[in-house]
Amino acid sequence: MGLRALRPLIFLTWGEIFSLFPSTCTDTFGPKFATVYTAKGTSAFLVPIANIVKTSTGSWHMVFVITALMNFVVVGLALFVLKPLRRRMLGGA
């Protein structure tokens, strides 16, 4: 079986790195390093949505605007939800 015959298998199973690698990293190196690959897997779901937005508007501008707004949402969640929750869980004031 040549390399050419394996191409469809590689294409169909390429997404497994995004589902298996975070758990392997977590088991091997701890939870600190799992977030990078989890973020890559999540972004793989958002790429088709960005493509739809780009196609419907005809420009990448709206994709970048939505991305910037999502960054502000993440910062707000980190500051106003995650930080107080973490402080409460650690028993700090």
pLDDT tens figures, 50-59: 889 999 999 9
Burial string for 28-64 (b: 16+ CB within 10 Å, else e) reads eeeeeebeebbeeeeeeeeeeebeebeeeeeeeeebe
- Taking the model in full, what pTM does it have? 0.56
pLDDT in tens, 31-45: 776 666 667 667 777
Do residues 53 and 67 lie in contact, with contact meaning Cβ atoms separated by under 8 Å? no
Q: Where are the domains of the chain?
A: 1-57, 59-93
